[in-house]
């Protein structure tokens, strides 16, 4: 028991010790696939230090040589049967695709297959032997301590995943999962997990709130609590990762770290995918990056890094299926960012928003009463200078609650230095990269002009309620009408 406990401590400490990283998956189903050299230079220009390939393409591995970039290569599913049935086929694969490239190319892991249990069940019986054969070839080359062997699992093989403490791997796969976990444990490897809150959200029929999937702040009463552990979950990503920890623990494996091999959000979809939007993709990936790099860990293992590879580098226009399938990328084929991540001030990698041009706007279709309440809050307790919204001022037209709320939200967001959580307003606000300025109504954050409305300070004052044309000025009376709970929510969510 003592030894087990010590071992657990050691492993936990070492995985917490490792600096968490964000990597990127590189799918290649593009009509205009950039050359390996172009891919490598995009990675370098964006300071992307970790990538996962879906194969072990020779030219790509050559292009990644001497870049310092860490590479996870993949044994494609269609080569799995051969490799799982013959140790010499496995040794040949390792020799040709790995030994030929190290150490110039820093290959750090081999993903044996991809979501085999869920997408290629007939190869499941050989997957563990394929992992063992690949590992044996690395041992023979004395590379087993620097190159880890694992296999990415779809989170769908974890059943009853909420509450996380009750999660378990689909028992029909016990004959595979148990020896697989033994292998990962005995080789000091890690579980590779694909985590897609987007699909969980889409399939939940409204049970999972969008904010919960997007790592947006939730009011405390909306946080999901695991009744068995009393752990609070503020986002779907953590809940899935913890479900995997618990599913392993259910089989008595408590010291295997997790890396998320794929996670992301599509920026575009067809009419049945209304939440595949640029803003949502940006919000998800920006928040994911912050969450991972901040070493927050999960509620079950706080502080333990869960390094993650974003799905994916490029939009893959050749992928079949729904429109969203083609739109998970951070870049188009020309290396132009699909959107600019909101990572200002965090000193982080990836498409830098040096222009700082993000805006906080009223969410499309938001409830008018909620918008009005949030607008009143911003122009009142939020201390936004709403003078530009008064009749005769540049942002009075269009005189709609949505337009005025957009102005006030954006001003508040910029006043707060665009800090995370300051574009929320109880869920009726959203961040965008489209400048909402129009005619002479210039929004805070547009261009380099900084404060656009110079200090005629018409901040709400005691005698301002006389002018009914300016919505900002009636905030006091509306606040009185708001129920206390609503006010609490507004202030909590805005100030956390
Ligand atoms: C390769 O990657 C490993 C793991 O991140 C790192 O420890 C090592 O220093 C890297 N080697 C080179 C030559 O960059
Ligand atoms: C394959 O396995 C056999 C039997 O265990 C062993 O003798 C042989 O050396 C292995 N070959 C390779 C290439 O690892
Ligand atoms: C568990 O896995 C089996 C075998 O793939 C599958 O038939 C079954 O539907 C899975 N169970 C659930 C609840 O997904
Ligand atoms: C896990 O360990 C407990 C206590 O040692 C044991 O009772 C249980 O059968 C084990 N479960 C599995 C799946 O091995
Ligand atoms: C990182 O985590 C700490 C502690 O949980 C928190 O105070 C801080 O705001 C976080 N930083 C970011 C950028 O999320
Ligand atoms: C990121 O910033 C650097 C220098 O600040 C610039 O050269 C590069 O073009 C920027 N990248 C993007 C995608 O904006
Ligand atoms: C972006 O905004 C932050 C905080 O508002 C500021 O510190 C930084 O200098 C800005 N960067 C640029 C390039 O304007
Ligand atoms: C910034 O101010 C200058 C003059 O002060 C003006 O010409 C320009 O249009 C403004 N830019 C923006 C984006 O508001
Ligand atoms: C503010 O507006 C007043 C009156 O329109 C003008 O005289 C003054 O120069 C402006 N101040 C700044 C800093 O632009
Ligand atoms: C408020 O009313 C007083 C007296 O009626 C007036 O002097 C003052 O200028 C008003 N303040 C504003 C901001 O309109």
Specify the residue with its C-alpha closest to ligand 3, atom 2.
172
Cis peptide before 232 (omega within 30 of 0): no
Q: Quick one: pLDDT at residue 420?
A: 65
Ligand nearest to the CA of 135: 2
CA of 188 to the centre of ligand 5 (A): 29
Q: What pLDDT, on the 0 to 100 scale, is given for residue 344?
A: 53
Q: Is residue 450 left, alpha or beta, with left meaning phi > 0 and alpha meaning psi from -120 to 50?
A: left
Verify whether ligand 8 is closer than 6 Å to residue 449 (CB atom). Answer: yes
Query: Helices 124-140 and 87-94 sit at what angle, rounded to 10 degrees?
Result: 60
pLDDT for the residue 337: 81
Q: What are the average pLDDT values for consecutive 10-residue runs of the chain, which has 496 residues?
A: 35 52 96 95 86 98 96 97 97 98 98 95 96 98 98 96 94 97 98 97 92 90 88 95 98 97 97 95 92 91 95 96 96 84 54 59 89 92 90 92 94 80 82 79 62 23 28 29 28 27
Is the C-beta atom of 251 inside 6 A of ligand 4? Answer: yes
Indicate the SS3 state at residue 48: coil
The span from the CA of 431 to the CA of 410, in Å, is: 9
Rounded distance from Cα 73 to ligand 6 centre (Å): 28
Phi, psi dihedrals of residue 404, rounded to the nearest 5°: -70, -40
Told to judge if 262 belongs to the known catalytic residues of this protein, a careful annotator would answer yes
What confidence score (pLDDT) does residue 88 get?
98
Give dist(CA 88, CA 86) in Å, integer: 5
pLDDT at 253: 98
For residue 468, what pLDDT is reported? 29
């Amino acid at each position: 028991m003592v030894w087990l406990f010590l071992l657990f401590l050691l492993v936990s400490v070492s995985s917490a010790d490792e600096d968490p990283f964000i990597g990127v998956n590189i799918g290649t189903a593009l009509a205009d696939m950039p050359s390996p050299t172009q891919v490598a230079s995009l990675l370098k220009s964006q300071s992307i230090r970790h990538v996962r390939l879906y194969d072990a393409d020779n030219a790509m591995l050559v292009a990644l040589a001497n870049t310092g970039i860490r590479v996870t290569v993949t044994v494609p599913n269609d080569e799995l049967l051969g490799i799982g049935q013959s140790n010499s086929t496995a040794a040949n694969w390792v020799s040709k695709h790995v030994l030929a490239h190290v150490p110039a190319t820093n290959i750090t892991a081999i993903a044996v297959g991809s979501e085999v249990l869920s997408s290629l069940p007939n190869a499941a019986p050989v997957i563990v032997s394929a992992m063992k054969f690949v590992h044996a070839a690395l041992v023979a080359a004395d590379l087993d301590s620097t190159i880890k062997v694992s296999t990415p699992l779809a989170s769908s093989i974890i059943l009853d995943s909420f509450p996380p403490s009750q999660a378990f791997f689909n028992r029909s796969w016990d004959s595979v999962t148990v020896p697989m976990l033994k292998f990962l444990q005995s080789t000091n490897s890690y579980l590779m997990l694909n985590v897609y809150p987007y699909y969980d959200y889409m399939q939940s029929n409204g049970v999972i709130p969008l904010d919960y999937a997007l790592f947006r702040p939730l009011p405390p009463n909306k946080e999901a609590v695991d009744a068995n552990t009393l752990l609070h979950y503020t986002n779907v990503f953590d809940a899935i990762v913890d479900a995997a920890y618990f599913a392993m623990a259910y089989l008595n494996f408590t010291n295997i770290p997790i890396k998320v091999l794929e996670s992301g959000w599509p920026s575009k979809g067809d009419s049945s995918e209304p939440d595949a939007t640029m803003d949502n993709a940006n919000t998800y990936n920006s928040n994911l990056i912050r969450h991972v790099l901040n070493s927050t860990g999960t509620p079950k293992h706080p502080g333990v890094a869960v390094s993650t590879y974003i799905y994916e580098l490029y939009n893959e226009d050749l992928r079949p299926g729904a429109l969203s399938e083609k739109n998970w990328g951070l870049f188009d084929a020309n290396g132009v960012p699909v959107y600019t991540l909101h990572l200002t001030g965090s000193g982080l990698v990836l498409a830098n928003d040096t222009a700082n041009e993000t805006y906080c706007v009223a969410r499309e279709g938001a409830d008018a009463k909620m918008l009005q309440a949030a607008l009143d809050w911003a122009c009142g307790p939020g201390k936004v200078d709403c003078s530009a919204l008064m009749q005769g001022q540049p942002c009075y037209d269009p005189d709609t609650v949505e337009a005025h709320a957009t102005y006030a939200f954006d001003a508040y967001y910029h006043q707060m230095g665009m800090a995370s959580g300051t574009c929320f307003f109880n869920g009726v606000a959203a961040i965008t990269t489209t400048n909402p300025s129009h005619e002479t109504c210039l929004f805070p954050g547009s261009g380099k002009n900084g404060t656009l409305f110079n200090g005629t300070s018409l901040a709400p004052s005691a005698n301002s309620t006389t002018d009914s044309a300016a919505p900002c000025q009636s905030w006091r009376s509306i606040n009185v009408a708001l129920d206390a709970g609503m006010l609490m929510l507004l202030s909590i969510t805005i100030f956390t």
